[in-house]
Amino acid sequence: MAQTADAVRPNSIKVGVGPSFFGYGDITGIMQYTKYSRKLLPYLQVGAGFSLAQASSTNACWQQAAAKTLDFNIAFIPLRSSRSNFKICAGISGRHLTNIYRYGISFYLFDNNPLIRIEEFEKQEFNSLGYTALLEYEYLFGDRWIVGTQASYQNYERGATVLFLGINGGIKF
């Protein structure tokens, strides 16, 4: 049997980017992430990651969100070869979310003046814990360069959810 890429270089660092969908998909944006992983056993890996996301609403109720997330996960690698790995991961996630939304619009009409529109906004900031489930595929170029894809689902204690689909690249060492 061929030696796997993880056996030669057990550590990796990847950076990725892709679209993210908050809530029911009505708040969409982009997420960038960095992830460190280390192989423990032939079919088992641990990892930690940090991500930043910016998103805004696509419906009539304007909303904007920015999230910073720290994830820790464990990965089972059921399919692996000398050039590729398919991983099923699960873990815990902590997130700081800044949420700005419009909650009111007022119109005022004064004598001999044009109509004045005033929009009222509210800003919320909070931390929450949750879990992450993700699928990953990676392909090794040469003996250290990685390209891949990732799909993840995150659910937080306040009922918030995030779906992410992205591409990544990195290095094994």
Q: Structural domain of residue 111, as residue ranges?
A: 5-172
Cβ pair 12, 36 in contact under 8 A: yes
Q: What's the number of domains the chain is made of? A: 1
CATH number, domain containing residue 42 = 2.40.160.20
Which pLDDT score is estimated for 116?
A: 74
User: How many residues are recorded in the chain?
Assistant: 173
Tokens representing 42 are: 């032939």
Of residues 85, 94, 101, the one with CA closest to residue 155 = 94
Give yes or no for residue 1 having a pLDDT over 60.
no
Which pLDDT score is estimated for 148?
A: 98
Residues 6+ apart with CB under 8 A from 142: none
With cut-offs at 50, 70 and 90, classify the pLDDT of residue 122.
Answer: confident
* DSSP per-residue codes, 18-57: EEEEETTTTEEEEEEEEEEEEEEETTEEEEEEEEEEEEEE
Of residues 91, 83, 71, the one with CA closest to residue 138 = 83
**pLDDT (mean) for 45-49:** 97
**pLDDT (mean) for 122-134:** 93
Q: How many CA atoms does the CB half-sphere of 22 hold within 13 Å? A: 25
Residues 6+ apart with CB under 8 A from 131: 90, 91, 92, 93, 154, 155
Higher-pLDDT residue of 124, 106: 124
* Mean pLDDT over each residue of the chain, to the nearest integer: 90
**pLDDT (mean) for 29-57:** 96
With cut-offs at 50, 70 and 90, classify the pLDDT of residue 159.
Answer: confident
